[in-house]
A and B are shown apart, each in its own frame.
Chain A
Amino acid sequence: MPLPFLLEIGCEEIPDWMIQPALQNLQELFTAMLSQNNLGGSVTATEATPRRLVLRAEGLNASQPNETKATLGPPKSAGPGAAQGFAKKMGVTLADLEVITSAKGEYYNFSKAVEGRKTLDILAEALPGIIGKIYFPKTMYWTGKGGARFIRPVRWLVALLADQVVPFEFAEVKSGAVTSGHRRLGASSIPVTVVNHEEQLRANGVVLSAAERRALIEKDLDGSVVKDEALLNTLVYLTECPSTIRGTFDPQYLELPKEILSTVMRHHQRYFSVEDSVGNLAASFVAVMNISSDPDGLVRLGNERVLRARFNDARFFWKVDQQKKLADRVADLKNVTFQAKLGSYFEKTTRVVALAQEIAAATGADVSAAARAAELLKADLTTDMVKELTELQGVVGGLYARAQGEPEAVAQAVYDHYKPVGMDDSIPSTLTGQVVALADKLDTLKGCFGIGMMPTGSKDPFALRRAAQGVVKIIVEAKLHLPLSTLAVSKDLTEFLLDRAKFYFKEVRGFKYDEINAVLASGSDDLVDAESRLSALAQVRPTENFEPLAASFKRIQNILRQANVAAGTSPAIDPALVEGGPEAELHQEFLRLRVIVDAQRKAHDYRGALEAIASLRPKVDLFFDKILVNDPDEKVRQNRLALLNSLLTEFSAIADFSEIVTQH
């Protein structure tokens, strides 16, 4: 009869963000163990709270299947003495041996029935290893040096195969059939069975299902509450019995910028912000507790009091920070190190100002606004507000610049200059903002590459990948015609940026990798132009002529390679040597299309140009069908190679078709 299995690893509070990956890992490890040991069954559920990782499986066999293990002995021809010896070695008598016939002849053989091991025993052996192998980013030991490691101390273990305890020990904790409830709402010692585990936990204040905990929180988040999926997920895995409270604060704090208030609420207090009907911040918040109710309002009062202190601090910082203007703080940046070898933030500022001016001039932005924004860009690093709310670097500078009467373009540029902070984040909203954001990121990239601090593997302490990603995103989405060759100093950095461009086009924009390769292979200096070509290519690709033509281009490339003709080096085509029929037709069509394609390309009508090129397909097919390139007459042969070479060269300027992966 198939058996159910339940494992609960009872633990002190696991960091919320590690729980889901750990569950996933536990499931993989357990599933692998089931199949390696031929135990049947499968994992049917995994659930977790901060204090427990739970895995359920169903359909396990009570034991491994029985097997017959055959051992081949000596050949029959070796005589009874050898057979006797073999039987002895196997621990049996001659009568237990059989004679089998194989291609090599007759042999003694001993078949032993091996009874499958009990699932209970296998689990007991395997579980300590599985628990110890669950991956956590940082682990600890607690039973003494050299003891077991886990994310936090393990305090109880439930391991049940149907109604039997799977006996094992991990980190000096013996498995059993006793769980522990919510720290304050439940008993600390609760006997459970496979069947009543979840319901016993519920009776002791623990909502085991994450989906259910999420629903308990979400039911109180009405339309006025600002949506925040990441915060919601954190709170789901920070609680065993969540419920919400709605608190308020003195509306006078609303005079502080929304960014500051909501950052204090979200990052420091894990509260949801609330908005009024027109989208302004309201003087209230939603907090999530790890108990079921707040009958006397004590939790609400406590949270309101803490928030008040936090807001008071913020107001104090705002007031104190205004006593010294951003512009007067720039010199203080001499004391703030950017990077040991790259000097202080003051030195960085000087470089970024120069770079911002160059980029502004090249993109038609307001040079003086860009220079001023660049000058103030990092000054907020010396403010108390940023020391307290580091995640608001830049944003605080922008708010202060505005409050101190800097031009709006300057304030907004400073405000936005960390953007985009991720792949999904938008780029700075103004041209000046885009210019200084580029200058800041490029300075960091150039500087770090200059001193050999390129990211390697998972190590990227200066977040250079993110910076490069930002550069690419800004250039492409703001359509800034800034050739990479004028921006990046080194070959390494150009390649790094191109690598990020490929990543961006593929992951963010969803283009196919071979289209990206095709486009970048025929010119990658101007990413805005590359993007236009890429869009055109993606549109033309599904049309009927395109892929066959791409296959033909690949063939042309192979022919030229075999003939040792380098691209673009052939002599002019001699019309006199062109043979009438398919070759002449192709030649004529090539000459006709070349003019059209050239004009379209110059007008940036890449789609039209690619369609025109694709229309060449019937002529190319016919040519390859009827004409032998390797004509015995060397002159004719060379002329044909010249024709193909011109074709390939002229028509590869938008995308290198040979990079396209085709079915043909």
Chain B
Amino acid sequence: MDSFQQTLFKLKSYWSERGCIIQEPYDMEVGAGTMCPETFLRVLGPKPYRVAYVQPSRRPADGRYGENPNRLYKHQQLQVILKPSPKDIIDQYLGSLEAIGIDLRKHDIKFEEDNWESPTLGAWGIGWQVMLDGMEITQFTYFQQCGGVDLDLVPAEITYGLERLVAFLQGKESVYDIEWTPGVSYGDVRFADELQFSVYNFELADVGALWQLFDLHEKEAQRLLDLYKRYDDKQRFPLLPAYDQVLKCSNTFNLLDARGAISVTERVGVIARVRKLAVGVAHAWMDQSNPVVAAEVTA
């Protein structure tokens, strides 16, 4: 039986052998691996790219104080981007499952329609949730649009839910019982985060302060986007830092949401504010990397 980290190593080398850059996690709070610049910005434009990375993904509202065996505030995704998607992409994906020890002749795999959409990022794609013996283990998406921009090359995004997958491989009922490495359980490594962040997110986060933070990050992102239009040397303009501010907004929004501070009516409006920034960055990014393409996009 492979440990959590051995499985991770195998998946990383599998995708490394297929031409992926192996990146480290992005060093900011994100709700999903898709939000990292390595996906959100790299899928834009005509340049091929292949990357894989583990991204700890924070979903404050999913926290359960470490009490629920299957639900986590922060779970680990393995995010794989192949741009453009090769013709045998699904075979390659199934090969990755074989590589971590799943004998596919003895298990049931189904591809069930599930079209991914992120209103916050102005992004959507077509795809499936991949079911292994009745359990969703992967989200598979062909991106169509990101930041409101039609993509030149259609990437395949493969997002593995690592805890579920490894719990399955190790036959564990609770993710906390997963063997991270011999002698150390997932719970040993992660329980404290789950408990403490649940307490903070649900009980102690200061709503007023969070709103202030949201406004500050929004303002800073918007200021940079406005500045970009007037900035002469576009090539050196800090769009990546602007995008960081957007990610801060997104995470602050998730915190406010988990805290119950955003009514359903407000929700739509706040999501629209974040989307406006994300779309702004995406368009500026297209312009910066290839002014001709961007002109076509906005035309």
Q: List residues of A whose CB falls within 8 A of some B CB.
A: 12-13, 15-16, 50, 138, 140-145, 152-153, 155, 183-185, 188, 238-239, 269, 271, 287, 289-291, 294-296, 298-299, 301-303, 305-309, 312-313, 316, 335-337, 340, 344
Contacts and interface: CB of A to CB of B under 8 A. Distances in A.
B128 A144 contact: no
Interface stretch (B13-21, B106-114, B185-193, B276-284): B106-114
A308 B113 contact: no
Given A302-B168, A337-B264, A340-B265, A238 B112 contact: yes
A16 B113 CA distance: 8
A257 B108 CA distance: 29
A12 B151 CA distance: 20
Nearest to B114: A15
Given A15-B113, A289-B108, A296-B106, A306 B173 contact: no
9 contacts: A12-B90, A140-B142, A140-B154, A142-B154, A185-B105, A298-B106, A302-B107, A302-B134, A337-B263
A138 B133 contact: no
B5 interface: no
Contacts of B94: 183-184
Contacts of B71: 313
Given A142-B142, A313-B71, 17 more contacts: A13-B113, A13-B128, A138-B115, A140-B125, A140-B144, A144-B84, A144-B154, A184-B105, A184-B109, A291-B107, A296-B106, A299-B106, A303-B134, A306-B133, A335-B263, A336-B263, A337-B265
Interface in B114-152: 115, 125-126, 128, 132-135, 142, 144, 150-152
Given A313-B68, A313-B70, A335-B264, A302 B132 contact: yes
A12 B94 CA distance: 13
A249 to B, nearest CB: 12
A13 B111 contact: yes
B85 interface: yes
Contacts of B126: 138, 140, 152
Contacts, number: 107
Contacts of A316: 68
Contacts of A145: 150-153
B87 interface: yes
Nearest to B126: A140
B241 interface: no
A337 B78 CA distance: 36
B232 interface: no
A319 B109 CA distance: 33
Contacts of B135: 302, 305-306
Contacts of B264: 335-337
A155 B97 CA distance: 21
A155 B88 CA distance: 9
Nearest to A293: B106
A79 B251 CA distance: 91
B104 A287 contact: no
A334 to B, nearest CB: 8
Contacts of B70: 309, 312-313
Contact of B111 (A12, A144, A269): A12
B24 interface: no
Contacts of B173: 305, 308-309
B233 interface: no
A82 B142 CA distance: 66
Interface of B: 68-71, 84-85, 87, 90-91, 94, 104-113, 115, 125-126, 128, 132-135, 142, 144, 150-154, 168, 171, 173, 260, 263-265
| B interface secondary structure, majority | loop
A152 B132 CA distance: 21
Contacts of A271: 134
Contact of A188 (B69, B91, B106): B91
B104 A184 contact: yes
Contacts of B113: 13, 15-16
A152 B89 CA distance: 13
B134 A142 contact: no
A346 to B, nearest CB: 11
A340 B126 CA distance: 30
Contacts of B171: 305
B147 to A, nearest CB: 15
B110 A239 contact: yes
A368 to B, nearest CB: 31
Contacts of A155: 87
Given A145-B152, A335-B264, A337-B263, A306 B68 contact: no
A340 B265 CA distance: 6
Given A13-B128, A290-B108, A309 B69 contact: yes
A558 to B, nearest CB: 58
B1 to A, nearest CB: 15
B108 to A, nearest CB: 4
Contacts of A183: 90, 94, 104, 109
B109 A290 contact: yes
Contacts of A269: 134
Contacts of B84: 144
Contact of A299 (B90, B108, B111, B154): B108
Contacts of A142: 85, 142, 154
A141 B115 CA distance: 14
Given A138-B115, A188-B91, A298 B110 contact: no
B93 to A, nearest CB: 11
Given A306-B134, A308-B173, A335 B260 contact: yes
Contacts of A188: 91
B153 A144 contact: yes
A137 B107 CA distance: 31
A408 B116 CA distance: 42
A312 B107 CA distance: 24
B195 to A, nearest CB: 17
List the 8 shortest-distance A-B pairs measured between CB atoms, nearest first.
A302-B133, A15-B113, A13-B111, A337-B264, A289-B108, A303-B134, A140-B126, A337-B265
A307 B133 CA distance: 11
Contacts of A140: 125-126, 142, 144, 154
A183 B91 CA distance: 8
Contacts of A143: 154
A307 B90 CA distance: 27
B230 to A, nearest CB: 30
Contacts of A291: 105, 107-108
Question: Which of A50, A306, A336, A344 has most B Cβ within 10 Å?
Answer: A306
